[in-house]
Amino acid sequence: MKSIKRSDRSVLSLSGEDRFSFLQGLVSNDVTHADGSRAVYAALLTPQGKFLADFFIVGDGERLLLDCPAADAESLLKKLNMFKLRAKVTLENLGDTVHVFALFGSDALSTFDLGQGQQLLNDGIIVYADPRLAEAGARAFVPAAADPKALDGEEASEEEYHRHRIALGLPEAPTDLIADKSILLESGFDELHGVDWKKGCYMGQELTARTKYRGLIKKRLVPVSFEGGPIAPGAAITLDGKNVGEVRSVSNAGGIAMLRLEAIRAGAPLDIDGNIAHAHVPDWMVIPDVETAD
């Protein structure tokens, strides 16, 4: 198992008797499942159904902990406070007091006998299975005063971690998931267990549900491999001279790209600034065989 301290992640705390009902009306997944037995992956959307932020929600006694991008932490905290109104909820950015670790490798889950759940280790360390995909491994909250060696993992580099998650097709904000632009179903949230279709209303729910049931998706985030390079994030992708997408994340000879479905279905080599690229659809991803009418 390999482990890496994710210095680009932060932790928000929600405490108070209304913490579940408050968050339940805002995010895409069922918060009640974050009851201390397992984590939940969810997103906060605009009223128009566009992506604002994503995070993992973990129950820890009388509080909920949100593992989110550090770059989004303060703006997310501000947005949540704006929606708080009279709800009995206290929100706090734990900043440097709790660190986020990613644990990956074939034995990441078995090392802590996690299954799809979570465990409390010594010194307040919480380890939980990544709820998106078993192959993703696990994540951990480690208090600043605790010894991260308790995770018993071989230290990994940022490059190793991103190569791992890009190969699996797991998007990350802000590179792959763009605020006020990305749509959940283009970004894998359905297959990656980030949406609960039975939970009821939340902000942006109407457009998200309509997109699913009317089959309105025309693009998807997928892993791509490059021949040649280097390839820069944001580079245009073409097929037969037609623009069919753009590169988002990049790691060595691979990356994640937003591609039109017809380009994915074609299975043909793609062009990025004169370099050949290939799309790879992960086993977990569902690409419809034919275009669905609006």
Say if 177 falls within a structural domain.
no
Task: To the nearest 10°, report the CA torsion of 223, 287, 103, 113.
Answer: -160
Same-domain pairing of 143 and 24: yes
Pairing of strands 2-5, 154-155: parallel
Say if 162 falls within a structural domain.
no
Amino acid letter at 126? Answer: I
Tell which of 157, 175, 208 closes a domain.
157
Amino acid letter at 144? Answer: A
Give me the pLDDT at residue 19, please.
Answer: 98
Give me the pLDDT at residue 152, please.
Answer: 85
Give the end-to-end CA distance of the chain in Å, rounded to a whole number: 46
In CATH, what number is assigned to the domain containing residue 231? Answer: 2.40.30.160
Smallest CA-to-CA distance from 133 within 108, 157, 150 is with 108
Would you say 55 and 68 are in contact if contact means Cβ atoms under 8 Å apart? Answer: yes
> Half-sphere exposure (CA, 13 Å, Cβ side) for 71?
11
Smallest CA-to-CA distance from 197 within 217, 180, 211 is with 211
Give me the pLDDT at residue 32, please.
Answer: 97
Q: Residue 283: which residues within 8 A CB-CB, separation 6 or more?
A: none
Same-domain pairing of 199 and 147: no
Give me the pLDDT at residue 254, please.
Answer: 93
Concatenate the DSSP letters of all residues of 217-270 into one string: --EEEEEEEEES----TT-EEEETTEEEEEEEEEETTEEEEEEEHHHHHH---E
Same-domain pairing of 81 and 25: yes
Tell which of 116, 139, 157 closes a domain.
157
Give me the pLDDT at residue 252, please.
Answer: 86
Same-domain pairing of 57 and 136: yes
Say if 141 falls within a structural domain.
yes
Give me the pLDDT at residue 179, please.
Answer: 96
Same-domain pairing of 106 and 202: no
Would you say 44 and 173 are in contact if contact means Cβ atoms under 8 Å apart? Answer: no
Same-domain pairing of 148 and 192: no
**How many domains, the chain?**
2
Query: Residue 15: enclosing H or E segment and its boundaries?
Result: strand 9-15
Same-domain pairing of 135 and 207: no
Smallest CA-to-CA distance from 92 within 18, 13, 10, 17 is with 13
Smallest CA-to-CA distance from 261 within 224, 232, 225, 290 is with 290
Same-domain pairing of 201 and 150: no
Same-domain pairing of 153 and 195: no
Give me the pLDDT at residue 293, please.
Answer: 45
Give residue for tokens 């753009």.
246
SS3 152: coil
Give me the pLDDT at residue 289, please.
Answer: 77
10-residue mean pLDDT series, the chain (294 residues)? 96 98 97 97 96 97 97 95 94 95 94 93 96 97 93 92 96 96 97 95 94 91 91 96 97 94 96 95 89 50
Same-domain pairing of 106 and 230: no
Say if 166 falls within a structural domain.
no
Give me the pLDDT at residue 294, please.
Answer: 45
Same-domain pairing of 15 and 81: yes
Same-domain pairing of 126 and 70: yes
In CATH, what number is assigned to the domain containing residue 20? Answer: 3.30.1360.120
For 15-43, letters b (16+ CB in 10 Å) and e give bbebbbebbbbbbbbbbebbeeebbbbbb
Domain extent at residue 221: 184-279
